[in-house]
Amino acid sequence: MKKSIASTAITVIVQMSAIFAFAMSIKLGSWFNAVSALWAFLITILPVVFERRNHIQLPTAFTITIILFVFASLVLGEYGDFYVKFPWWDNMLHSFSGFALSMAVFSTMLWLYHSPTQLGHLSPGMLILFSFCFSIACGALWEILEFSSDTIFGTDMQRWQLGGNAGLIDTMTDLIMDTAGALLSCIIGYTYLKRANLLNKMRKIKLQNTESRGL
């Protein structure tokens, strides 16, 4: 119950911040920041829509991770100009997002397949690989969104206006940080499976299911 209250409180705070940022951006005529704030608000609604459409409840940690990342990147990063004020902000977000997204998918899959009968359907290697690839795919999608924003709205999210190879270096650095964060998450995930004895449980259940089908 406490987690549910915490998740709701964080969601409301982020949504109110996004609405305030949107209103201020409209007042100041900063249309890109207005779009970023509106996008941040809409993303906070996605977990709720997903839960209602699929009749499941996502882990609180997963929902909070998404909401806090949106707040840090779109609200603080773009509207608060944290990318300029703190040069390390972008690298920190990308490494954190790579780690958090991979860990969130990893924990969500374990949560969905927690029962003994369902646990046998999970392959440890594929679980870790899927978590890693999902995180990297999200990082690549984000770079596409940054490029689209720079091209359509004339922003400089990929630092092309600095000249030279600045844009390329920024993009590749972001992807490297995404990969590093996801890799760290996979190492922690594998360590968890091993220490929790889930690796052996998965193999035993899978073997039992195979033998039962053979009979």
| Residues 6+ away with beta carbon under 8 Å from 103 | 131, 185, 188, 189
Determine the pLDDT at residue 4: 63
- First-residue to last-residue Cα distance in the chain: 45
pLDDT, one tens digit for every residue, the chain (215 residues): 445 676 777 778 878 877 887 887 788 776 766 777 777 787 778 777 766 776 666 666 666 777 777 778 777 776 677 878 888 888 998 898 898 888 888 887 887 776 666 666 778 888 899 999 999 998 999 899 888 888 887 877 788 888 888 889 989 999 999 999 999 999 998 888 888 777 777 777 666 666 566 54
**What pLDDT was estimated at residue 27?**
80
Return the pLDDT at 1: 41
Q: What is the model's pTM?
A: 0.72
Q: Nearest-5° angle of CA 8, CA 95, CA 173?
A: 140
Residue from 179, 205, 27 nearest 115 by CA = 205
